[in-house]
């Protein structure tokens, strides 16, 4: 059965139809691709009139457009504008529970990774524990500069000995 990362994060209840019966399946928080979910008493009938066995469903967590899951940790990229990267400031980081503010130190380079403890996936069978979120800074440059901005950048480059 395929579920979203959001469903794996918060847990969910799914309704399945099997042999004309509707089954309610509880998916626990923190479930991973490859996990098995047991549905008691919904398997095949036993031999010689025995009761039904258990049904096991294998879970596949679908890819997410923002987050990559590695175990209980999540990874994402965070755009950081040039000025915040140079001078320091704040950036908004998406999490599964909503955005949080991350302090960006001055001189942050593209590719720097920030670890946000407890912002990852719930740990299966211990949902009060959480993995980490690793936010990788991606410094973004202004796309269009006006004449004055170009002049200032050229002056800055000369001050740094780059021109």
pLDDT digit string, tens, across residues 1-14: 899 999 999 999 99
pLDDT tens readout for residues 90-104: 999 999 999 999 999
In 3D space, the residue among 9, 4, 33, 7 whose CA is nearest the CA of residue 122 turns out to be 9
Examine the pLDDT at 120 and tell me if it is beyond 80.
yes
In 3D space, the residue among 78, 108, 111 whose CA is nearest the CA of residue 93 turns out to be 78
Residues 6+ positions from 108 with CB-CB distance below 8 Å:
80, 84, 85, 88, 137, 139
pLDDT tier at 53, thresholds 50, 70, 90: confident
3-state SS class at 129: strand
How confident is the model at residue 17, as a pLDDT? 86
Token readout for 23 is: 């089954």
Instruction: Tell me what percent of the chain is helix, strand and coil, each rounded to the nearest 5.
Output: 15, 40, 40
Token readout for 146 is: 């006006």
- The average confidence (pLDDT) of the chain is 93
pLDDT tier at 61, thresholds 50, 70, 90: very high
Of the candidate ranges 72-76, 89-93, 121-125, the one whose mean pLDDT is the lowest: 121-125
């Amino acid at each position: 059965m395929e579920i979203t990362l959001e469903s794996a994060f918060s847990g969910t209840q799914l309704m399945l139809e099997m042999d004309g019966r509707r089954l309610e399946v509880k998916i626990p928080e923190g479930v991973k691709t490859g996990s098995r979910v047991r549905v008691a008493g919904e398997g095949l009938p036993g031999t010689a009139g025995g009761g039904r066995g258990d049904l096991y469903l294998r879970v596949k967590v679908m890819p997410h457009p923002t987050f990559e899951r590695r175990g209980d940790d999540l990874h994402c990229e965070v755009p950081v504008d040039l000025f915040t990267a140079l001078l320091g400031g704040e950036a908004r980081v998406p999490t599964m529970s909503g955005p949080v503010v991350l302090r960006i130190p001055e001189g942050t380079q593209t590719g720097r990774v920030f670890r946000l403890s407890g912002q990852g996936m719930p740990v299966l069978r211990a949902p009060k524990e959480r993995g980490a979120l690793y936010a990788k800074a991606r410094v973004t440059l202004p796309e269009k500069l006006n004449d004055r901005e170009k002049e200032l950048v050229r002056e800055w480059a000369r001050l740094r000995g780059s021109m």
